Amino acid sequence: MEKGVTSDKYRDIFLSHSWKDKPFVRRLQADIEAVEYKGRKLTTWIDEAEIRPGDSITGKINEGLENSRFIGVVMTPDYFKSESGWTYAEWHAALHLDPDNRKCRTIPILAKDYEDIPPLLRHLLRIDLREKNYERDLPRLINILCDEPFPKPKLHQGRIINPDGRLSASTLVSERAPTDAYPDVFDEELYSNLLPIVKLPSHLFAAPITERVLAKPGRSLKWSILTEISSATGEPVKEGFKDYENELITLENLFKDDNPFAAAIKPGLARRIRKERFIRDDDKRRIFVYLLNKAIAKQAEKVGLVEDHTKSWRYFFPPKLGGGPNKIAWPRSRTVAKPLTDTEWLHFGAYLTVFYIAGNFFLKVWPTYLLTFRGSEPKMGPTVGRKVIPWTGRMRNPTVLNHVLCLSHRLSEQKKYICVQVGDQEMIIKREPAFIQQSFGLPFDYRKITAIEVLHRDLPEEELPRSLDEIRREDLELGDEELDFE
């Protein structure tokens, strides 16, 4: 039996709402019930029309939820701040049997501005019936209740027209573009800035922290461990570690007598833990990722990059030994650090962070530029962003890809893979970024990018531009076609 058709107890939509929003709900009820559907009027369930004196309130609401085709959650500040708890009980019940709303039975209806929508509802596409959008989106709700598809967008000179009759600024296309178009059948590779990690350290090591360190006064347990080790060895700690439930976790082999953490752990109690135990648990995986990032920091230092301690996991090329501009070979000579004034330096660098997605680990390379004082102290503040925009603002996809390849080439020490030593284990990272291949694309776009690459092969050494004026002069010399695919 189809709900809402053959029995008086069935309704098309249950309107879950706060009593403070009654005026809005009554208006919405009237608009819905004025619509014809399969030879009858659409029906709604609201408490004041369904619950009579003497009825069980809980029983009636339960019956209404069970016997309605859709459940409309009328979202307002009052709805989510209701002290009675009825509104929460209603939308919780709606999502109980279908937590991800795959059957689309729950319809979020935004009636007033509200920023703190609960996460379980926040990801659902909502019907916007706020005052200025009511007439625009009400037909979309009616389409859903009547099992009708949404109307196709109208086009005028290649521009999409919104239901309110205005041109859609967010979906502008060429004024003379055809209304129907198909992509070219062309195998295209889309590269990312993620370098696949093909081999991870197989084990982590853990050992109880000594009572002396645990009892040591200080800002944190990590600080106590660092000071204990530094006072015992006379050197700062470079190896990565984390304290977790009064244990020290690291990728360094704690079974060795000369391990760098010997002064802070109880002897003879070290244990080896397979990496899978850390990867499966979200909190422990963060520890594992942190330790991998510390290993990347050591590799970056090994190949000549300096860690910027004002920003997490940011590294940059320092001046050449002796204080002059720094140049590296990729694939021709390029300047990666140079003075702009007597005290201000410009540096090429990147954020290097281990990234976990869909069961795989990657090294994310985010190229950037930064300014320092006399080549060593990174500058901070709002003025820095405005100063480096002439360089960061020019980064288009081919430029970013070139920077990623340059950095992976440097990290690999000109070898086939990036091999990172982690204690007596190894982490291996591919130099080539991860990519997807699709069977459609823009062949002419590919040709133009290739032409730029060919153009660059015979150019003299690449320099960092000294000013925005110099960039503009270079742009004028390249011409419009090359600027489109820089």
- All structural domains of the chain: 11-145 (3.40.50.10140), 199-430 (no CATH)
Whether the CB-CB separation of 189 and 437 falls below 8 Å is answered with yes
Rounded to a whole number of angstroms, the distance between the first and last alpha carbons of the chain is 63
Q: How large is the average pLDDT for residues 65-88?
A: 90
- The pLDDT tens digits of the residues spanning 275-326 come to 999 998 888 999 999 999 999 999 999 999 999 989 999 999 999 988 899 9
Tell me what pLDDT residue 184 has.
60
pLDDT per position as a tens digit, 400-429: 888 898 999 999 988 889 999 998 999 999
pLDDT (average), residues 242-267: 93
* Other Cβ atoms within 10 Å of 471 Cβ, number: 15
Q: Find residue 274's DSSP bridge partners.
A: 203
* Percentage of the chain exceeding pLDDT 90: 51
The token pair that represents 179 in the structure block: 């209304």
Has residue 205 got a pLDDT over 60?
A: yes
Query: Going edge to edge, which strands form the sheet with 241-244?
Result: 241-244, 247-250, 203-208, 271-274
| pLDDT > 50? residue 354 | yes
Tell which wins on pLDDT, 297 or 382: 297
Q: Across the chain, what does the average pLDDT equal? A: 82
Query: What does the pLDDT look like over 103-152, one tens digit per residue?
Result: 889 999 999 998 888 888 888 888 999 988 899 889 999 999 998 887 66
More confidently predicted of 219 and 249: 249
Q: What pTM, to 2 d.p., does this model score?
A: 0.57
Q: Contact, 245 vs 309, CB < 8 A?
A: no
Task: Please give the C-alpha separations between residue 192 and each of 65, 97, 232, 240, in angstroms, as whole numbers.
Answer: 47, 38, 45, 28
Q: What tokens appear for 25 in the block?
A: 């709900």
- CB-side neighbour CA atoms (13 Å) of 230: 9
Identify whether the C-beta of residue 25 lies closer than 8 Å to the C-beta of residue 49.
Answer: no
